[in-house]
Structure 1
Amino acid sequence: MTLAPISPLTSPPQPLLRLRLAPPAGGPRAIDGAWWPRSYDLLAELPALIAGLPHSWGHIASVVLNGAPWSPAPGRMFVAGQVVCLRRRRTAAAHTVVLTAPGQGRWDLIVVPPDTAEEAAEPIMARAARASGTLRHP
């Protein structure tokens, strides 16, 4: 009797992270890029975002966002091997997320709403990736 090799269990492929970052600048900028999540489910979307950030950004310790559009989530999450504090602020801009890493810096990303059509999302992401001044979400 011949036994066929057992193939390892594989998880379904994860969709690509829709993230565009501005090139490193000599100083602070108003917007550091854009993120286009597939939903407003933080538990599903945040791990992919944090895992996809440049290693040079360091350990992202906190995420600040306007809580209105996002699904409920705990105040802390274990994401990509690290604890991340979630802070919801009604005063935060509705279409931004702020990531902070102690001793490394702060990065502000435009959040393109998940239901945005690709034709509309692409120009927003492209502008955010080359933004040097203030960029407002349309």
Structure 2
Amino acid sequence: MTMTVDRTAPRDLAREVPARLSLTPKTTLAGQLDGAWWPHSRDLAAELPPLAAALAEPWGRITRVTVNPTHWPVVPRMVAVDGRTLHVGWFTEQDPDKLILLSYAIGRWDLLVIPPETAPAAAARLMAAAAIPGSVLTAGVLMANEAAIGRGIRDTARREAAWEGEGGACMSPFGAPMERSALPLPANGRR
């Protein structure tokens, strides 16, 4: 039996899926970011056409994109978008969590890039935070804050599991179990 594998299918599928975006509303407040983009994969050649198409109406024709290659396995020099060419550049000095979009006529926009594997709840928080007008938080700071929140949730779950496993044992502020007799007495000396 012969089987034909179409290696272009994932790219074609990605082009049919709309870009996941959250943009800062038009305002006079200038911030560090103009919104957030949550791509479906790390394939720039597949992800940039839907992004450029989604931004055509609010921002005009995007002509150039720059990324940091840290999170992108392949950075193509050019990507075809609706019969024209979108030039892609990369700079290691650029924040790895940011995408810069340029238009000849209109200007520049900076978007937070949310990793494709991000959980939907975390992505929603990041998209909302990146779209706040006048925010001074950079892409790197937003991602670091989200990572800290994620660790906090896991840490809380671990502590709750330990509490249940120990039968509600008393813990010192340093995380070590304490004897119940080691609890401080009230100010008047009675229990």
Q: TM-score range by the shorter chain?
A: 0.7 to 0.9
Cα shift readout 1:32-80 (whole Å, capped 9, x = no counterpart): 0000001110011111111111424222111011012113243122213
Change (3 A) 1:89 1:20: same
TM-score by length of 1: 0.83
Q: Which has the higher helix share?
A: 2
Matching residue within 76, 81, 84 for 1:79: 81
Distance 1:32 1:54 in 2: 15
Confirm or deny: 8 A CA contact 1:42 1:70 kept in the other structure: yes
How many residues were matched structurally?
Answer: 128
Which secondary structure does the structure 1 equivalent of 2:117 belong to?
A: coil
Question: Unaligned stretches of 5+ in structure 1?
Answer: 1-10
TM-score by length of 2: 0.61
Confirm or deny: 8 A CA contact 1:35 1:110 kept in the other structure: yes
1:62 alignment counterpart: 64
Give how far 1:94 is off: 0.7
Tell me the amino acid that sits aligned with residue 18 of structure 1: R
Cα shift readout 1:88-133 (whole Å, capped 9, x = no counterpart): 1111101110001012010000000111001111010011112412
Question: Unaligned stretches of 5+ in structure 2?
Answer: 1-11, 144-191
Cα shift readout 1:9-51 (whole Å, capped 9, x = no counterpart): xx97933321010111226431000000011100111111111
Matching residue within 114, 119, 126 for 1:112: 114
Confirm or deny: 8 A CA contact 1:35 1:125 kept in the other structure: yes
2:146 alignment counterpart: none
Distance 1:116 1:104 in 2: 31
Structure of larger gyration radius: 2
Confirm or deny: 8 A CA contact 2:49 2:79 kept in the other structure: no
2:40 alignment counterpart: 38
Q: Which runs of 4+ in 1 moved over 3 A?
A: none
Tell me the amino acid that sits aligned with residue 134 of structure 1: V
Distance 1:98 1:117 in 2: 24
Identity rate, percent: 37
Confirm or deny: 8 A CA contact 2:17 2:50 kept in the other structure: no
Give how far 1:81 is off: 3.4
Q: Which has the higher strand share?
A: 1
RMSD, matched Cα: 2.0
Choose between structure 1 and 2 for higher RCO, CA contacts under 8 A separated by at least 6 residues. Answer: 1
Distance 2:142 2:91 in 1: 18
Distance 2:76 2:29 in 1: 33
